[in-house]
Amino acid sequence: MPTTSTRTRLHDRTAKLPVIAAAAAATALIATGCGTGADSLDDASADGDWTPVTIEHAFGSTEIDKEPERIVTVGWSDEATLLELGIVPVGMAESTYGDEDGYLPWDLEKIEELGADKPELFPTDDGISAEQVANFAPDLILGVQSGMQESEYEQLSEIAPTIPYLDQPWTTEWQEQTLTIGEAVGRKDEAQEIVDATNDYVADLTADHPEFADTTFAIGSPMPDSNSLAFYTEGDGRFELMRQLGFTPAGFHDSALSVDDGQFYGLLSLEDADSIDADVLVMWFNTEEERRDLDDNKVFQKVDAVADGGYAPFDSARLSMAISTPNPLSLRWAMDDIIPQLSKAAKGEA
């Protein structure tokens, strides 16, 4: 799971990236082989009739003046969005949570469906290495769902057109992410179809569960090695998914949730846990042990939602990763496991 601690480390880290060596930059400009990470191209681009595309983002704008054929993904779930569009990246960020040897299960299923080889992985937990990315000789770099720093963006842009997050780190909604990536690769109409179909899928789930309507929720995780709980706020994928399912954001009585500017979560002392004013409390954990520790806490047991059957805990790493940065692939993969537990909690039967 991209936990609060992990995401904060990625967002706030101050370590400087190594300067790109001239040789590495040159590698990015030289085709290293005739293979491509993309499948059959759109009709508009198959004959070489590519219309330049400009994508506006947090650091300015990026122009893509030729059809991308070697795409590298450095953001979480960017690879899944690309795969759903039928394109396999030549390289993608390694997943270190909920993975199968660095690959997420919904990605593997789609790669197999496309009949493609698995892309090569590279680590990003300690920063995006421009030198490693350059080794793939990409002509497009996607970090739409990321916490890419401006210095990283500048270095990556020396290699190939780069698209970072659009407004705030980690908070690009999956619909906007899909449409942005679709536009960047010349498949805007297909991306819109995917968004519409996925929205319809979630709407059908909502219609099947009227108990979600007018039911308030709070969704969070325990902060590792601390006495605090982190609750996700507007813009976070988990928070927005709950709203899309028909739930209503809850308040916190007697204690204000402390949310720093630009963050996707707020902190609440465990001592104030009983101030959570929600019908349904959803908590995500890294391990079963972490879950048991919180469940055994006497103050936590007094939270109204916990005492009244509205508590929905999840300690599956894969499910957690699936909704931390939701996308059209992971949503369909995860909902069969998540919806029944949310339904029980909404009915006060958890």
| pTM confidence score | 0.84
pLDDT at 35 over 50: no
CA dihedral 299, 262, 194, 85 (to 10 degrees): -110
Residues in the chain: 350
**Range 33-58 average pLDDT:** 63
Helix (H) or strand (E) holding 283: strand 280-284
Residue by residue, DSSP assigns 48-72 as S-PPPEEEEETTEEEEE-S---SEE
Distance in angstroms (rounded) separating the CA atoms of residues 347 and 350: 8
Q: Where does the pLDDT of residue 256 fall: very low under 50, low under 70, confident under 90, or very high at 90 and above?
A: low
The reported pLDDT for the residue numbered 7 is: 43
Q: Where does the pLDDT of residue 85 fall: very low under 50, low under 70, confident under 90, or very high at 90 and above?
A: very high
The reported pLDDT for the residue numbered 96 is: 86
pLDDT at 347 over 50: yes
Q: Where does the pLDDT of residue 90 fall: very low under 50, low under 70, confident under 90, or very high at 90 and above?
A: very high
Residue pointed to by tokens 């919180």: 294
Q: Domain 16-197 adopts which CATH fold?
A: Rossmann fold (3.40.50)
Listed in sequence order, the residues at least 6 apart from 228 whose beta carbon sits closer than 8 Å to its beta carbon are 222, 267, 268, 269, 270
Q: Where does the pLDDT of residue 144 fall: very low under 50, low under 70, confident under 90, or very high at 90 and above?
A: very high
**Range 261-287 average pLDDT:** 90
CATH architecture classification, 209-346: 3-Layer(aba) Sandwich (3.40)
More confident position, 34 or 296: 296
**Range 307-323 average pLDDT:** 95
Average pLDDT over the chain, rounded to an integer? 86
Are the C-beta atoms of residues 94 and 126 closer than 8 Å to each other? no
Report the chain's C-alpha Rg in angstroms.
21
**Range 92-115 average pLDDT:** 91
**Range 177-188 average pLDDT:** 98
List the single range of 14-28, 49-63, 181-195 with lowest mean pLDDT: 14-28
Distance in angstroms (rounded) separating the CA atoms of residues 68 and 138: 8
Strand pairing class (248-249; 216-222):
parallel
Percent of all residues in the chain with a pLDDT value above 90, rounded to a whole number:
73
Which part of the chain has CATH 3.40.50.1980? 16-197, 209-346
